[in-house]
A and B are shown apart, each in its own frame.
Chain A
């Protein structure tokens, strides 16, 4: 099908769920009301690593208005995984709901339910905890020392979350022997947090039966159902998880959080609905961050820029629990086998426990870290070899047939297309050759330009063998309902799914409505993550829609006495090729007649994908103030290959939002932990600095359909995570271009810039 043949796909139809968002009518979890609702709160540890010797809740229990208090004595002692993906590599069972031990500052040690939030809060202060402090480890280096305190009894030991992930292809040593240039570097990165606008919230209600109804802001409602059922000892059909609108997740709302178990248990104990809502501060302390990392990279290049060998070791800091560390470590480490093609590659990744807050899933999932290093070193090699950095990337970009991190051959030449397109659209050569790097308004400013690249999979394969499911129901009037388990994080995925169904079925977009977010009703879903909803569930929805269309056309063919292959359905009207006068509405084809009821039209689609890769090249302009050290990202031109764009505005929105978060982690965002005691130092929106309206650059988004993937609907691939990956190294490279100081870490703070400039001045003097 060529692009002009699409009626709905590729058009920015009005998102069906957005009217509720702009009118305030959309219900987020906290917007419902429950009669007799109790409020739950968590008592959090004030020490990072300790055994609980004694915990006294008598005063709290006696406090008027308190209905229940739970400690480790009162909860099932079941080891569970924070990252509840069944059948996945992302499983580390290392966590109890509550334990007589704490492993990070801020971990929950008790929970209270009371008639008001204020009373619950006051009751927390009445709980007396006596700790026996244990020696803590607050950074990955000390955690790996032979005599380091062990944070967990489970796992491979040595404070490792999982055994090291090791990938080796070709002959790395022989590759280095052929190299004309060998570069070695060390890289590291801070602890950005997703900072979704809706703090974590859940409500549990057992009233009326031995069945748990659980409203929660989650990306993975079926995983929440599974983990709750397992820990509570219930069959899956006795746990019903509900989520309608949610205020973002960015990956982190894939975990099953401690408060979710506690909420369910408090509600059971009280026989009343209980709500637990994080404060903003708790979203930092008890939420999930990106993994801080340390990385060593050695690469060999030929004179012509060809990469001949790569050796990389990365250590991801997991924090106190495993959460997504197995997945992040696996995906991140494998990602380093690719992006820039290399036959001889050896990469090793580790995830290490420390007594710090938990790192989990966050957009870019381990890849942000590795590509930050690969892309910066590519820039360094280009300079050393006298090759233009964009040209250098073109020469080394992965292409058709190269082995992707998943082990599959790459399809198409998407990365080259993004780089080439950006070189022209950004006017790269002329821009960078411009000797005038000053700013007429501020003589302290130096301007610079940089490029960064990325690729990212549109599924979690092979770590998780995913399955997308969809049910499509068509009513006799031609209206259609799509049932999907995919969560609506805010990306517009439900709209894309409805577009796919409408396109495939041959009905208008407006006639498709989407039902989601109720595990009792919708088909099983693995969750909205890994940039896969459009790719995975979109394909399943298309399969289901095609089955329904076939049945409608078969019935219409009977009625019209025509061959089914001569029929088509457009906007819900069935017509016959070459016979303009002949047509039927869906109602005429499927509706009741002479005592025969309307045809029951429902079908399902299931889809097991492997993996596709999306690509991007980001071109940026920065302005560095050499007096204040402030880096301003002024212009970004993201060029993305998404295979086939379903909803252009939604895709652009993903890209622009990803760039916002990527600028943040590169320049200002770092959730800082005191490395001497594990305490959080900036758990709030004032001290954790995100780019806001005044900080955003001019973004000129370009979307290409360069390398459609046969696994996605009409070639569509993912876009959610991609934009956060390339922007970081692009900025770091542009900063180098501006001031000649190379940074191997993020965030690059004004202090770093000023220190770097001083260091450079001293070096220049000595030269």
Chain B
């Protein structure tokens, strides 16, 4: 079978691979890129465990062909933190609140939660629930996941306003706190 030459950006890094035309983005990330943080819970788009960001949009990586990701900017859970010791506030909050039990759904939920907070920095409880409606967690009853997302959102907002205040000119320009940002810019 003809292989497809794929070039894209993964977690800020230019990557390429030679993949079969039928290969999903999920299998490509896991098998070809060695990025096994993204999980396969159903392979048919029902569970959300494989959620990654593609050009700034959350996507079920199992439902996207690798070929469709040609030239795309991908962020996986491995790209969520900005350095080995610089966890994303969502990751910190998930640990503190016990929002991850078996952890198999966690990477997908973290990516979806990141998307939610990027779009809506201080979501209401209903918005958090709706934002996660495509992600199955079977361990936690979601309660602690909701708490963690709420906490992370508040901390990120506080960090942003603290930072904006420190700008000193009163411009309200959002200056991103470096250690809180992932490698790739599209977020």
Query: Count of chain B residues with Cβ under 8 Å from any Cβ of A?
Result: 55
Given A19, A247, A658, A692, which contacts B104 in the complex, CB threshold below 8 Å? A247
Interface of A is mostly: loop
Q: How far is the CA of A195 from the CA of B42 in the complex (A)?
A: 11
Q: Write out the residue numbers on chain B whose beta carbons fall within 8 Å of the beta carbon of A24.
A: 35-38, 76-78, 80, 107
A155 smallest CB distance to B (angstroms): 33
**Interface stretch (choices B136-144, B158-166, B167-175):** B136-144
Q: A18-B95, A489-B102 are in contact. Are A657 and B41 (CB under 8 A)?
A: no
Q: What residues of A have a CB within 8 angstroms of the CB of B41 in the complex?
A: 197-199, 247, 280
Selected from B106, B128, B132, B142, the residue in CB contact (under 8 A) with A660 is: B142
Chain A neighbourhood of B106, CB < 8 A:
21-22
Q: Does B133 contact A (CB under 8 A)?
A: yes
Min CB–CB distance B179 → chain A (angstroms): 15
Give the docked Cα–Cα distance between A248 and B103 (Å): 8
Q: Contact between A247 and B46 (Cβ–Cβ < 8 Å)?
A: no
> A657-B139, A657-B141 are contacts. A28–B104 as well, Cβ < 8 Å?
yes
Q: What total of chain A residues lie within 8 Å of the partner, measured CB to CB?
A: 56
What does the 1/0 interface line of B100-131 toward A look like (CB < 8 Å)?
Answer: 11111111001000000000000000001110
Q: Which residues, 60 to 85 on B, are CB-close (under 8 Å) to A?
A: 76-78, 80-81
A690 at the interface (CB under 8 A from B): yes
B94 touches which of A20, A22, A25, A118 (Cβ 8 Å)? A22
Smallest beta-carbon distance B187→chain A, Å = 17
CB A536 to nearest CB in B, in angstroms, measures: 20
Nearest A residue to B144, CB-CB: A653
Q: How far is the CA of A653 from the CA of B146 in the complex (A)?
A: 12
Q: Which residues of B contact A199 (CB under 8 A)?
A: 40-42
The complex places the Cα of A355 from the Cα of B39 at a distance, in Å, of 33
Query: Which chain B residue lies CB-closest to A14?
Result: B95
Residues in B with CB closer than 8 Å to A658 are 141
Measured CB to CB, the closest approach of chain B to A96, in angstroms, equals 30
Q: Which of A491, A690, A696 has the most CB atoms of chain B within a 10 A radius of its CB?
A: A696
Q: Which residue of A lies closest to B77 (CB)?
A: A24
**Is B142 a contact partner of A23 (Cβ separation < 8 A)?**
no
Instruction: Choose among A22, A28, A685, A699 the residue that contacts B141 (Cβ–Cβ < 8 A).
Output: A699
Cα A489 to Cα B40 with chains together (Å): 17
- Contacts A197-B102, A690-B138, A693-B132 aside, 15 further interface pairs with beta carbons under 8 A come to A12-B98, A23-B78, A23-B80, A24-B78, A197-B47, A492-B101, A653-B140, A660-B140, A660-B141, A685-B136, A692-B133, A693-B129, A693-B146, A694-B129, A694-B130
Chain A residues with CB under 8 Å of chain B are: 12, 14-15, 17-28, 30-31, 33, 118, 194-199, 245-248, 250, 279-280, 489-492, 649-650, 652-653, 655-661, 684-686, 690, 692-694, 696, 699
13 CB-based A-B contacts, threshold 8 Å:
A23-B78, A24-B35, A24-B76, A28-B39, A197-B136, A197-B138, A247-B102, A489-B102, A490-B101, A649-B97, A656-B140, A656-B144, A690-B136
